[in-house]
Amino acid sequence: VTGLTRATVSTLVDELLAGGLLAEVEPARRAGAGRPAVGLRLADDGPAGLGLEVNVDYLAAVVVDLAGRERHRFDRHADQRGRRPGAVLDELAELAGLARAAGAADGLRVAGAAVAVPGLVADGVVRLAPQLGWRDVDVRPHLAALGPDLGGGLRVDNEANLAALGELHARLDAGAEPARCGFLYVSGEIGVGAGIVLSGQLHRGARGFGGELGHVTVRPDGPRCSCGARGCLEVYANQEALLRGAGLPAGDDAVGRLVAAARAGRRSARTALAEGGAALGVAAADVVNLLDVDTVVLGGVYAPLARWLAGPIERELAEHVLTAAWAPVSVEASLLGASATVLGAAGSVVRAVRDAPAVWLARSAA
């Protein structure tokens, strides 16, 4: 396929084996005469990605290997609102240290880290995270203790963007054609955000602040949102609105209890999901009318609730999208499930190593 000679491929493979990016597996079959073919796979003790997530009601740290498999995960569930950003980030650094040490015990070497935050990010600084009440918080100094050997560096990005990138890579790995791969990734947590992927590319907008679906207006005279405006989507469809509508308390595994209530057919749960789904559908229809995306991907807490949200979303899309009759829009749960954000963050690190292995080899030789 590449047109490279057998000798060139051998040289490259030897380099990747020596650098710990590939491992040999037993030959599955004889390749005719001469040297037997050797099977290769991505090393499961090579470079790894560290994904970190600050969210409104939890912190998470995950280590994934070169194949993108989750190997270690540390979570802490607690409301982060009202805490000092420094205290939150110090606790995140502690989880990161635990994840990293667990990876090291497996022979994994963290090649870089990405931090997902529920807010607007520019140059590593969280400009605004309305639900957390953060303004101009520089995340990097708090995580500097992760070590100067984080050669790939520390990337800070919006949670929905990292999740959308993770979803994009999962779809490409599953065989999607890059030029045709586009979707609106909707991330549901206490904040609601979106990542917009068109023709295999994440679109961040002119200043990098795009995708704030949670603050699209559903009703101009609606209740006040954490951002200060009225009637934003977030007010009607975030995790808290769904739980409140269902008459369920917040707290540990609240979403699991909502799923159970919906599955049991409890009317309050079904109604809350129908109303939240309708609000999501109204907002998503605006995006489809503007950008002609053909798929809405439900991530975060929406992923396990997709069964009940998809119908109401589809009904609103059918009503409000001009082209819906002949260009239907598909509504699907995220391939990465509820953890798409932290997996997408970790995956972005190993993806960079896989895209440019020579950079990693030069760095680890230095």
Cβ at position 52, least distance to Zn ion in Å: 25
To the nearest whole angstrom, how small is the minimum distance from the Cβ of residue 231 to Zn ion?
8
Site membership for Zn ion, residue 171 (CB under 5 A) = no
The reply to whether 225 sits near Zn ion by the rule CB under 5 A is: yes
Site for Zn ion in 258-287 (CB under 5 A): none
For the record, the structure tokens of 316 come out as 């609103």
- In the complex with Zn ion, the residue whose CB is nearer, 166 or 214, is 214
| One residue of 63, 232, 278, 313 binding Zn ion per CB under 5 A | 232
Restricted to residues 8-47, the positions that interact with Zn ion (CB under 5 A) are none
Separation CA 39–CA 17 (nearest Å): 12
Measured distance CA(357)–CA(361) in Å, rounded: 6
Which residues, in sequence order, are bridge partners of residue 50? 63, 113
- Segment near Zn ion (CB under 5 A); pick from 144-152, 172-180, 201-209, 211-219: 211-219
With CB under 5 A as the contact rule, which of the stretches 73-81, 155-163, 208-216, 266-274 interacts with Zn ion?
208-216
Question: Helix, strand, coil: what percent of the chain each, to 5?
Answer: 45, 25, 35
Q: Which is nearer to Zn ion, 146 or 218 (CB)?
A: 218
Distance CA 14, CA 297 (A): 40
Which of 40, 102, 227, 274 is the binder for Zn ion (CB under 5 A)?
227
Structure tokens at 61: 């740290």
SS3 for 205-236 is: CCCCCCCCHHHCECCCCCCECCCCCECEHHHH
**Contact range with Zn ion by CB under 5 A, out of 36-44, 226-234, 296-304, 338-346:** 226-234
Query: Backbone phi, then psi, for 194, in 5-degree steps?
Result: -145, 150
CB of 269 to Zn ion, least distance (A): 25
Provide the minimum distance between the beta carbon of 303 and Zn ion in the complex, in angstroms, as a whole number: 22
The whole-angstrom separation of Cα 194 and Cα 182 is 13
Q: Near Zn ion by CB under 5 A, which window of 64-72, 218-226, 280-288, 305-313? A: 218-226
Q: For residues 172 and 229, which CB has a smaller minimum distance to Zn ion in the complex?
A: 229
- In angstroms and rounded to an integer, the radius of gyration of the C-alpha atoms of the chain is 22
Q: Kindly determine how many residues on this chain lie close enough to bind Zn ion according to the rule CB under 5 A.
A: 5
Nearer to Zn ion among residue 157 and residue 234 (C-beta): 234
Task: Work out the number of other CB atoms within 10 angstroms of the CB of residue 112.
Answer: 21
From the CB of 27, what's the least distance to Zn ion, in Å?
A: 58
Residue 128 binds Zn ion, judged by CB under 5 A? no
- Tell me if 215 contacts Zn ion by CB under 5 A: yes
Residues 6+ apart with CB under 8 A from 120: 126, 127, 128, 129, 158, 208, 209, 212
- Residue with tokens 């679109």, as numbered in its chain: 203
State in angstroms the smallest separation of the CB of 93 from Zn ion: 30
Six-digit token pair at 270? 């079904």
Interface residues for Zn ion in 338-357 (CB under 5 A)?
A: none
Q: Report if residue 194 touches Zn ion, rule: CB under 5 A.
A: no
| Residue 190 or 321 with smaller CB distance to Zn ion | 190
Do 62 and 114 contact (CB within 8 A), yes or no?
no
Q: Which of 248, 318, 250, 257 is nearest to 282 (CA)?
A: 318
Q: By CB under 5 A, which span of 30-38, 39-47, 231-239, 315-323 interacts with Zn ion?
A: 231-239
| Binding residues for Zn ion (CB under 5 A) | 215, 225, 227, 229, 232
